[in-house]
A and B are shown apart, each in its own frame.
Chain A
Amino acid sequence: MSFSAPWLLPALLALPLLWWFLRVTPPAPRRERFPAVRLLQDLLPTEETTARTPWWLLALRLAAAALVILGLAGPVEQAGTLVHDRGPVLLVVDNGWATAANWARRMAAANAALDRIARSGARVALLATAEGPSGAPLAISPPMPVARQRARLALLRPEPWPPDRAAAAALLRAWRSRWGPHGAVYIADRLADPGSADAAFAAALARIGPVTELAALVPAVRVLLPPQDRAGHLVARVAQLPQPVRQRATVLAEAPGGRILARFGVEIPPRAALGEAAVPLPLELTNRLSALRLGGKGAADAPSAAGVVLLDERWRRRPVGLVSGDPANANLPFVGDLYYLERALGPYAEVRQGDLAALLARKLAVIVLADRVLPPGPETTAVSNWVAGGGLLVRFAGPLFAAHPDALLPVHLIAGERALGGALTWGRPEPLARFPAASPFAGLAVPADVTVARQVLAEPDVALARHTWATLADGTPLVTAAHFGAGRIVLFHVTANTAWSNLPLSGLFVAMLRRLVELSAGVAETPGRAVLAPAEAMDGFGALQTPGPAAGGLTADRFAASQGKAAVLPSPRHPPGLYGPPNGRRALNLTAALPPLRVMPPIPGARVEALTALGRERRFGPALLAIALGLFTIDLLVALGLRGLIGWRARAGARRGAAALGLVLIWLAVPSAARAGIGATNPALVTRIAYVITGNPAVDALTREGLRGLGEFVNARTAVTLGPPKGVVPGRDDLSFYPLLYWPVTANAPALKPVAVTALNRFMGNGGIILMDTEGGGAEAAGSGAGFAPGVGAALRRVSRGLAIPPLTTLTYENVLAHTFYLLRDFPGRFDGAPVWLARDPANRNDNVSPIIVGGDNWVAAWAVDANGHHPYVSIPGGANQRLLAYRFGVNVVMYALTGNYKGDQVHLPAILQRLGQ
């Protein structure tokens, strides 16, 4: 306990004087007007007892006066002692990447420390241990009064790179010799520095007098490492300091523009430093990812540069189509055309096989034709159009191909093939030469045992060298390539199996194919030594900004740890972010270069406190003044009462006032929720859409948001007024108030209880409509939602067991549902293309309205609107029109539920007109 203005305390000595004054001074007289004052004048009283102030009123006044003096003196609890003499104190603040997560608390701690220093009047200097984005070297600000130092402190930001403890240690040593040991306050991140200058830093700091170290006792640092391609999946990895209990991190997968494509959890086992989880997205969507981001609500998941991994082309997975000239034997082990290709491409690309037309029907990044001749005609046209649109066509030679070379080739070929080895030739199989520098294969090591025994030959040409990406040792081209429209055609002059060379057996084959796939999708290759300029830099909180003045370019080969060189550790010169031209951005991630997380030991001899320890300073002054004010108010009332100025009327008024105050207090005490509940209890007063509570909070929240979004759309466009949606549990809640029941079916939905089956059957029998949505489907399902909800077909069968579902048919333009408000031909949701099922011939009893509608296009995700008015889910394949159509379908369903076959006439309108015409 201390006082911020202790010089006021001697005023307490004046209290006895006050007591004496109050004691001798009688209370103020009451004033009366009186006509016969003349008769009163000079009357001698018979008793000589002057009215005195009552003792309890005296005590009250003295207490109030004492409280005022104490309150003004400003008693402060838990002041702590950070300052030991009048010399300048050094405030050292870590502002490396690890501090962003709890930056506000660190600033609060620093300000609390400044509060204490300010009370002692000492000056303070400031050292931030990470360099600023301007690239200026670290410096200690000169000692200055606390008020001016606060402004400097407020300018500090967490930086997206590690602190430079080595430079800081040098500065600390200089400070010690210049100013002497007057103490320091260190707001630490407690993470060991990759530069291993920690010991020097700690020693230098410890020499500056007594050190108070403020740090989070358990460093809550969580780092999102760059994901890895593993067995066809992108695997997100989250690292943290080992914790004794199981942790769960939430990762957001973002598309360009910040739209969130997926949100998934990563479990980190107890006492583990790393947790992994596959990104639950289909391949096409994985290729659209631009970043992964920690997105939980915990302190460790707060925005920071270490919680963001920017994804560039290296993480894009591209579907590759394989076509063989001999489909029957294409996959024969060890001899098939596609056998080696499939194994080389499979681990990091999605490989599809089949007939060329079927493959071209879906999006492909690369098509590999192994000894497949393209006959002139529609097939050639289709493939050349595809390549001209940006595709990468990789062709392998073979016997068929050598006999009939076609048009889609990078170079002109000499008919026939050249045999370099074998029983009937003099030559020996030829090894490969080093790859030319301009080749995308540049840098790949060439094994000496790879030889080519047979190949097709290109016609010698002036431009041949420019088109050649790989040659044999004798200079004949092995791989040639040429641009074709926006795309590219690459030709391997050998077969894709071991018939002509043993290249497919080597690791080089895998590396070459991988480089080729990386080239696809219009991404031009970047020469390895080209300097890429920074385009967007990340700040300490993980947001992309304009690069700072110190940011410089980086050569292309230094973006990943490869060929023995470590990845670049971000610094003001190389801030994490995106580099290079717009169509070839490379990402430099902070976490790619971070060493494993380790805790830095405390500064030797330092007093270690939690970050919040200094924040618990309590000032009693205002409370004391408030109590004194209350006492003075009581005193005023008492004085008025003694003087008779509060009469009966005033007392009645006070009673009324007290009653009113009591009513107000009671009103405040009644929970607002209870008040809101009044009037909202009768579900029949508002038309509402109900939805089945699945028990999965994410799905339920999505459904609620989606139905609310649909409700707003319906209320804005139609005469229907829908209330907020209501979650129900069939069998527990009364369903008879709701015209429509939305039922999201998840893959793990359990079978229904008998009571729920009964309730739903009665609901359908009484005219209710159930709208079931599988929200995507398994891989075999139709539509763009395929693969989003594997296993949901079985779940649908499971949950609908026992329900009285009539025979179903698909929804078409001819159905009433397509006419009830809008005229619709498509019925998309977030996805498109899945069929919508409804009763084939509904019972006449219920207005010919189908009691059930089943679909898989995840309508609620398309309808959902978040608190900011944005649509949190992108529509797939996309486009604003799809979302509008989804809303229109929702309006039609609501109208269908509310009006039945009202628009049935319109369906039969042509027939009616025809009949009228006759």
Chain B
Amino acid sequence: MTSGPAGHESFREARRAEALGASLPPLLVAARRVAMTVAQGVHGRRRVGQGDSFWQFRPFLHGDAVTRIDWRQSAKSDRVFVRETEWEAAQTVCLWADASPSMRWRSRLVATEKAERAGLLLLALTALLLRGGERVRLMALGENAQGGRDALEAVARGLARARAGEAGAGLPPMLPVPRYATAVLFGDFLDPLAHVQAALARLAAVPVSVHVMQILDPAERALPFQGRVRFADLEDAGETLIPRVEGVRAAYAERFARHEEGLAQICRGLGFGFATHMTDQPPETALLALYVTLAPDAGALG
């Protein structure tokens, strides 16, 4: 800990990460609970194939290349063994949740912040995928693909790191993604449509199969304010004074609908899946819909 503004700032960051981390275990429990409600569907590919991980030893058969003999194992007995590796299901599922300040907001109508719901859905999906034997990777700098017993906790920690850091951008980052991977994006996607299209097009160029889950607060759709209100953005869009909110509600609703329509159109054009989840709805519904959307792909992988 150093003195001065910079030290003070890092200290505050650490404190915030700590607070968020402390909230993670309950989030994990909730995510597991949500995942349990979804039917067991995706099965792992527990079979021999291309891969780096050890799978099993088997006796040498005719036709096997001599270079595949595991001499160390063969030396332990009279027989000759071949080392087999597990078939690697190369389709790691990349997950991304919007960590911009606009997600850390809720209206008076609901009790859940958008970021919280996004994290819940992300972790629940992670739990589901892990149970199915998939590997999961957070789309963030320095995150690796995770699998196995501790993967869920690792993803949760990664999520907390992403939230604690000023990830800022409301759109998925430009990171190397495995080709033909599957990506699931959680966010409010309230940025201008041109920016959204640019970001998604980058992913489509990899190519990656993407599913977009838009998380919205009901107030963002309904604009339930009255009278003279000065609206302040949570990010950098500045302030807007509305002399009489009732007067602009219809125009806003129309503009909002157009934004959503545009978003859906972008996803359709890129071949991405798109769904909208309101924070006043139960997360299980969204998770099921997500699962149903992902399932054909998962089946195709098998």
> A residues touching B (Cβ–Cβ < 8 Å)?
26-27, 29-41, 43-51, 644
Once the chains bind, are B232 and A34 in contact (CB under 8 Å)?
yes
Encode B225-250 as 1/0 by CB contact (under 8 A) with A.
Answer: 10111111111011111111011101
* Given A30-B230, A45-B248, A46-B247, residue A35 in contact with residue B242 (CB < 8 A): no
* Given A31-B232, A46-B251, residue A51 in contact with residue B227 (CB < 8 A): yes
In the assembled complex, the Cα of A35 lies from the Cα of B248 at a distance in Å of 17
Answer whether residue B102 sits at the interface, using C-beta atoms and an 8 A cutoff.
yes
Which residue, B225, B234, B237, has most C-beta atoms of chain A within 10 A?
A: B237
The count of A-to-B residue pairs whose CB atoms sit within 8 angstroms is 100
In the assembled complex, the Cα of A45 lies from the Cα of B223 at a distance in Å of 14
Answer whether residue B220 sits at the interface, using C-beta atoms and an 8 A cutoff.
yes
Which residues of the partner chain A approach B239 to less than 8 Å between Cβ atoms? 37
Answer whether residue B259 sits at the interface, using C-beta atoms and an 8 A cutoff.
yes
Once the chains bind, are A51 and B244 in contact (CB under 8 Å)?
yes
Closest chain A residue to B242 by CB distance? A40
Least distance between B147 CB and chain A CB atoms (Å): 35
Closest chain B residue to A642 by CB distance? B227
In the assembled complex, the Cα of A48 lies from the Cα of B248 at a distance in Å of 10
In the assembled complex, the Cα of A104 lies from the Cα of B191 at a distance in Å of 83
Once the chains bind, are A43 and B255 in contact (CB under 8 Å)?
yes
Least distance between B246 CB and chain A CB atoms (Å): 8
| A26 in complex: contacting residue of B105, B228, B250, CB < 8 Å | B228
Q: List 12 A-B contacts (CB under 8 A).
A: A33-B105, A35-B102, A35-B233, A35-B235, A38-B191, A39-B252, A41-B240, A44-B248, A45-B242, A46-B250, A50-B244, A644-B227
Least distance between B113 CB and chain A CB atoms (Å): 11
Once the chains bind, are B233 and A29 in contact (CB under 8 Å)?
no
Binding site secondary structure of chain A: loop
Closest chain A residue to B247 by CB distance? A45
Once the chains bind, are B230 and A46 in contact (CB under 8 Å)?
no
> B residues touching A (Cβ–Cβ < 8 Å)?
102-103, 105, 114, 188, 190-192, 217, 219-220, 225, 227-235, 237-244, 246-248, 250-252, 255-256, 259
In the assembled complex, the Cα of A37 lies from the Cα of B220 at a distance in Å of 10
Which residues of the partner chain B approach A38 to less than 8 Å between Cβ atoms? 190-192, 233, 237
Once the chains bind, are A36 and B220 in contact (CB under 8 Å)?
yes
In the assembled complex, the Cα of A37 lies from the Cα of B259 at a distance in Å of 13
In the assembled complex, the Cα of A35 lies from the Cα of B239 at a distance in Å of 11
* Given A35-B102, A45-B244, A46-B247, residue A40 in contact with residue B228 (CB < 8 A): no
Once the chains bind, are A32 and B252 in contact (CB under 8 Å)?
no
* Given A35-B105, A35-B234, A46-B247, residue A29 in contact with residue B190 (CB < 8 A): no
* Given A35-B105, A35-B188, A36-B256, residue A29 in contact with residue B248 (CB < 8 A): no
Which residues of the partner chain B approach A644 to less than 8 Å between Cβ atoms? 227
In the assembled complex, the Cα of A35 lies from the Cα of B233 at a distance in Å of 5
Which residues of the partner chain B approach A39 to less than 8 Å between Cβ atoms? 190, 252, 255-256, 259
Which residues of the partner chain A approach B240 to less than 8 Å between Cβ atoms? 37, 40-41
* Given A30-B227, A43-B248, A46-B248, residue A37 in contact with residue B242 (CB < 8 A): no
Binding site secondary structure of chain B: mixed
* Given A33-B234, A38-B237, residue A43 in contact with residue B227 (CB < 8 A): no
Once the chains bind, are B243 and A37 in contact (CB under 8 Å)?
no
* Given A40-B252, A43-B252, A46-B250, residue A30 in contact with residue B229 (CB < 8 A): yes
Once the chains bind, are A37 and B232 in contact (CB under 8 Å)?
yes
Once the chains bind, are A32 and B228 in contact (CB under 8 Å)?
no
Once the chains bind, are B229 and A29 in contact (CB under 8 Å)?
yes
Which residue, A36, A44, A49, A51, has most C-beta atoms of chain B within 10 A?
A: A36
Once the chains bind, are B228 and A34 in contact (CB under 8 Å)?
no
Once the chains bind, are A35 and B247 in contact (CB under 8 Å)?
no
Which residues of the partner chain B approach A47 to less than 8 Å between Cβ atoms? 244, 246-247
In the assembled complex, the Cα of A46 lies from the Cα of B243 at a distance in Å of 11
Closest chain A residue to B230 by CB distance? A29
Once the chains bind, are B251 and A26 in contact (CB under 8 Å)?
no
Least distance between B135 CB and chain A CB atoms (Å): 33
Once the chains bind, are A36 and B248 in contact (CB under 8 Å)?
no
In the assembled complex, the Cα of A12 lies from the Cα of B283 at a distance in Å of 64
Which residues of the partner chain A approach B190 to less than 8 Å between Cβ atoms? 35-36, 38-39
Once the chains bind, are B232 and A32 in contact (CB under 8 Å)?
yes
Once the chains bind, are B251 and A44 in contact (CB under 8 Å)?
yes
Least distance between A29 CB and chain B CB atoms (Å): 4
In the assembled complex, the Cα of A583 lies from the Cα of B239 at a distance in Å of 100
Least distance between B32 CB and chain A CB atoms (Å): 29
Which residues of the partner chain A approach B103 to less than 8 Å between Cβ atoms? 35
Once the chains bind, are A27 and B228 in contact (CB under 8 Å)?
yes
Which residues of the partner chain B approach A44 to less than 8 Å between Cβ atoms? 248, 251
In the assembled complex, the Cα of A40 lies from the Cα of B250 at a distance in Å of 11
In the assembled complex, the Cα of A40 lies from the Cα of B252 at a distance in Å of 6
In the assembled complex, the Cα of A30 lies from the Cα of B230 at a distance in Å of 6
In the assembled complex, the Cα of A578 lies from the Cα of B60 at a distance in Å of 144
* Given A26-B228, A30-B230, residue A37 in contact with residue B247 (CB < 8 A): no
Q: Beyond A35-B105, A51-B228: 18 further Cβ-contacts under 8 Å?
A: A27-B228, A30-B227, A31-B232, A33-B231, A34-B231, A34-B233, A36-B190, A37-B239, A38-B190, A38-B191, A39-B252, A39-B256, A39-B259, A41-B240, A43-B255, A47-B244, A50-B228, A51-B243
* Given A38-B190, A51-B227, residue A33 in contact with residue B237 (CB < 8 A): no
Which residues of the partner chain B approach A35 to less than 8 Å between Cβ atoms? 102-103, 105, 114, 188, 190, 217, 220, 233-235
| A43 in complex: contacting residue of B234, B242, B259, CB < 8 Å | B242
In the assembled complex, the Cα of A38 lies from the Cα of B195 at a distance in Å of 13
Least distance between A410 CB and chain B CB atoms (Å): 109
In the assembled complex, the Cα of A811 lies from the Cα of B220 at a distance in Å of 103
Least distance between A57 CB and chain B CB atoms (Å): 14
In the assembled complex, the Cα of A46 lies from the Cα of B229 at a distance in Å of 16
Closest chain B residue to A38 by CB distance? B237
In the assembled complex, the Cα of A838 lies from the Cα of B217 at a distance in Å of 99
Q: Which 8 A-B pairs have the closest CB atoms?
A: A45-B247, A35-B102, A37-B233, A47-B247, A29-B230, A29-B228, A43-B248, A34-B231
In the assembled complex, the Cα of A40 lies from the Cα of B223 at a distance in Å of 10
Least distance between B260 CB and chain A CB atoms (Å): 10
In the assembled complex, the Cα of A43 lies from the Cα of B238 at a distance in Å of 15
Which residues of the partner chain A approach B241 to less than 8 Å between Cβ atoms? 29
| B238 in complex: contacting residue of A32, A33, A36, A37, CB < 8 Å | A37
